[in-house]
A and B are shown apart, each in its own frame.
Chain A
Amino acid sequence: MKSSMKREIYKQLRSIVIISVGLALIPPILQFNNYFLLVLTYILLYAVIVSAWNIIGGFGGQLDLGAGAFTGLGCFTMGTLLLRWNIPPVIGVFAGGLIAAAFGFIIGYPSFRFGLKDVWYALATIALVVVLKQFFTVWEQVGGPEERYLPGTYGSLYYLKLPYSYYYYILVVALAIVLFLNVKVKMSKLGYYLFSVRENEDAAEMLGVDVRMTKLKGLMIYAFITGTIGSFFALISGYIHPTQFNTDISLQIAILGIVGGLGSIYSPVITTFILQSASEYLRTVLGGWIPGIHLIFYGAILMIIVLFFPEGLSAILNKVYAKIGLFSLKKEEKK
Chain B
Amino acid sequence: MNNTLLKVENVTKKFAGLVALNKVNMEISKGQILGLIGPNGAGKTTLFNVITGFYEPEEGKVYFRDEEITGKPPHKIAKLGIGRTFQVVKPFLGLTVEEAVRVGAYNHALNEVEVEEIISETLNFLGLSKLRKRLCKDLNLVEMKLTTLAQALAAKPELLLLDELAAGLTPTEIDNLIALLRKVNEEKKITLCLVEHVMHFIMGISDYIVVLHYGEKIAEGKPEEVASNEKVIEAYLGRR
Contacts and interface: CB of A to CB of B under 8 A. Distances in A.
Direct contact of A and B (CB under 8 A): yes
A204 B86 contact: no
Contact of A192 (B79, B106, B155): B106
A195 B103 CA distance: 9
B214 interface: no
A132 B152 CA distance: 44
Interface stretch (A41-49, A207-215, A320-328): A207-215
A335 B83 contact: no
Given A196-B92, A198-B94, A205 B73 contact: yes
Nearest to A190: B106
A200 B103 contact: no
Contacts of B92: 195-196, 199-200, 203
B84 interface: yes
B63 interface: no
Contact of B99 (A5, A195, A203): A195
Nearest to B102: A192
Interface string B70-106: 0001110011000110100011111110011011101
Given A1-B116, A195-B95, A206-B152, A211 B90 contact: no
A319 interface: no
Query: Which of B91, B99, B103, B108 has the most C-beta atoms of chain A within 10 angstroms of its own C-beta?
Result: B103
Interface in A1-25: 1-2, 5
Contacts of B106: 189, 192-193, 207-208
B191 interface: no
The A interface is mostly helix, strand or loop, or mixed, namely helix
B113 A203 contact: no
Contact of B75 (A192, A195, A211, A333): A211
A264 to B, nearest CB: 11
B112 A206 contact: no
B32 interface: no
Query: Which of B83, B90, B100 has the most C-beta atoms of chain A within 10 angstroms of its own C-beta?
Result: B100
What interface size band does chain B fall in?
20 to 34
A197 to B, nearest CB: 10
A23 B96 CA distance: 33
Nearest to B101: A207
Interface string A74-95: 0000000000000000000000
A334 B107 CA distance: 22
A200 B102 CA distance: 15
A200 B78 contact: no
B52 interface: yes
A2 B112 contact: yes
Contact of A209 (B75, B83, B100, B148): B75
B151 interface: yes
Query: Which of A2, A189, A199, A208 has the most C-beta atoms of chain B within 10 angstroms of its own C-beta?
Result: A208
A206 B52 contact: yes
A96 B196 CA distance: 55
Nearest to A206: B84
B103 A196 contact: yes
B83 A331 contact: no
Interface of A: 1-2, 5, 189, 192-193, 195-196, 198-200, 202-211, 263, 331, 333-335
29 contacts: A1-B116, A2-B112, A2-B113, A193-B106, A195-B94, A195-B99, A196-B95, A199-B92, A199-B93, A199-B95, A200-B90, A200-B92, A202-B74, A203-B90, A203-B148, A205-B75, A206-B74, A206-B75, A207-B83, A207-B103, A207-B106, A207-B154, A208-B75, A208-B108, A209-B75, A210-B75, A211-B75, A333-B135, A334-B94
Given A1-B112, A192-B106, A207-B104, 14 more contacts: A1-B113, A192-B99, A193-B103, A195-B103, A198-B94, A200-B92, A202-B74, A202-B90, A203-B92, A206-B83, A207-B83, A210-B75, A331-B96, A331-B99
Interface of B: 52, 54, 73-75, 78-79, 83-84, 86, 90-96, 99-100, 102-104, 106-108, 112-113, 116, 135, 148, 151-152, 154-155
